[in-house]
């Protein structure tokens, strides 16, 4: 949890929940798992609720973009519905901030939404999609009534040429950080090293699709032994677009 985050697309992180479990290939080199193993007091697979952290955003007076549960997944199946409701209640009260909620568990997200879960307009809702095999997560997200829906294609493990951007306002791309040699930049879904030319093609496909659909595009990093090892440049420039939002 940090008042100043090093994650390029957010300002701060807020972790009322810690711990998670792996559900797809994009979880293989999870940075949250590495941090928990190094500094944590519990196993990463232990889901821990932190009610004492719930009202932290209310104490931050200056408006910020806040990444919610960077060390967990709000819609993990072991997070009680009541606690999810408490997190959203705090976000609703802290309306001077913009909250960024990202999940791989879009089925539970949709179930929660259909049971009456409501997303305030200053809460951006996103899903992680690492390869074409998980494009169905975007289909679930599209059904949810959120003002800003976004996709995190990080780590990008394959082509998303079939990506449908209908109803999507923002796409983030990035390589595998912390788990692959710098020369490889990313890994594929089966764990093999991916040549730089393939990684470039995959990211360019997404960037060009975003430009064609008037969707904001943010290229976070290329991957490597550290998050910043491969840099952020794509075709001679950095791409740091955000969805149109009159609040920011």
The structural domains of the chain, ordered by start, are 12-221 (3.20.20)
- Asked if pLDDT for residue 228 goes beyond 60, the answer is yes
Q: How confident is the model at residue 93 (pLDDT cuts 50, 70, 90)?
A: very high
Task: Return the closest-CA partner of residue 71 out of 5, 151, 15, 2.
Answer: 15
Q: In the predicted model, what is the mean pLDDT of residues 232-247?
A: 86
- Exposure class string for 105-129: b at 16+ Cβ within 10 A, else e: bbebbbebbeeebebeebbbbbbbb
Q: In the predicted model, what is the mean pLDDT of residues 134-163?
A: 96
Q: pLDDT for 45-90, tens place per residue? A: 999 999 999 999 999 999 999 999 999 999 999 999 999 999 999 9
**Angle at which helices 106-114 and 136-143 pack, to 10 degrees?**
20
Across 13-27, 119-133, 217-231, least confident range: 217-231
189, two tokens: 């879904």
Angle formed at CA 83 by CA 77 and CA 88, multiple of 5 degrees: 110
> Which of the two residues, 34 and 3, has the higher pLDDT score?
34
111, two tokens: 């179930």
Q: pLDDT for 164-214, tens place per residue? A: 999 999 999 998 765 544 444 455 556 565 667 788 999 999 999 999 999
Q: How confident is the model at residue 4 (pLDDT cuts 50, 70, 90)?
A: confident
| Rounded CA separation 106/15 (Å) | 19
State how far Cα 133 lies from the chain centre.
17
Residue 210's pLDDT is what? Answer: 98
Question: How many Cβ atoms are within 10 Å of 130's Cβ, its own excluded?
Answer: 26
State the DSSP string of the chain: -BSS--STT-SEEE-SEEB----SGGGTT-HHHHHHHHH-SS-TTS-EE-GGGTTGGGG--S--EEEETTTB-TT-TTS-HHHHHHHHHHHHH-TTSEEEEEES-HHHHHHHHHTT----TTEEEEEE--SGGGTHHHHHHHHS--SEEEEEE-S--S--TT---TT--EEEEE--BSSS-TTT-EE-TTS-EE-HHHHHHHHHHHHHHHHHHT-EEEEEE--BSSTTTT-S-BTTB--B-----TT-
């Amino acid at each position: 949890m940090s008042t100043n985050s090093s994650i390029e697309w957010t300002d701060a992180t807020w972790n009322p929940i810690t711990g998670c479990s792996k559900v797809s290939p994009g979880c293989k080199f999870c940075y949250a798992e590495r941090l928990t193993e190094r500094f944590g007091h519990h196993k990463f697979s232990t889901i821990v609720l932190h009610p004492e952290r719930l009202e932290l955003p209310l104490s931050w007076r200056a408006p910020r973009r806040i990444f919610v549960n960077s060390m967990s997944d709000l819609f993990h199946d072991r997070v009680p519905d009541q606690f999810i409701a408490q997190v959203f209640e705090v976000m609703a009260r802290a309306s001077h901030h913009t909250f960024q909620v990202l999940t791989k568990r879009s089925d539970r997200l949709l179930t929660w939404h259909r049971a009456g879960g409501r997303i305030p307009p200053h809460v951006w809702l996103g899903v992680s999609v690492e390869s074409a095999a998980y494009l169905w997560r975007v289909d679930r997200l599209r059904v949810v009534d959120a003002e800003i829906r976004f996709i995190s294609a990080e780590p990008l493990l394959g082509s998303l040429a079939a990506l449908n951007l209908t109803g999507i306002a923002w796409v983030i791309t990035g390589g595998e950080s912390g788990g692959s040699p710098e020369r490889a930049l990313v890994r594929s879904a089966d764990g093999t090293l991916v040549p730089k030319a393939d990684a470039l093609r995959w990211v360019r496909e997404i960037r060009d699709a975003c430009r064609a659909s008037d969707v904001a595009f943010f290229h976070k990093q290329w991957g490597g032994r550290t998050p910043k090892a491969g840099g952020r440049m794509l075709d001679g420039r950095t791409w740091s677009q955000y969805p149109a939002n009159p609040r920011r």
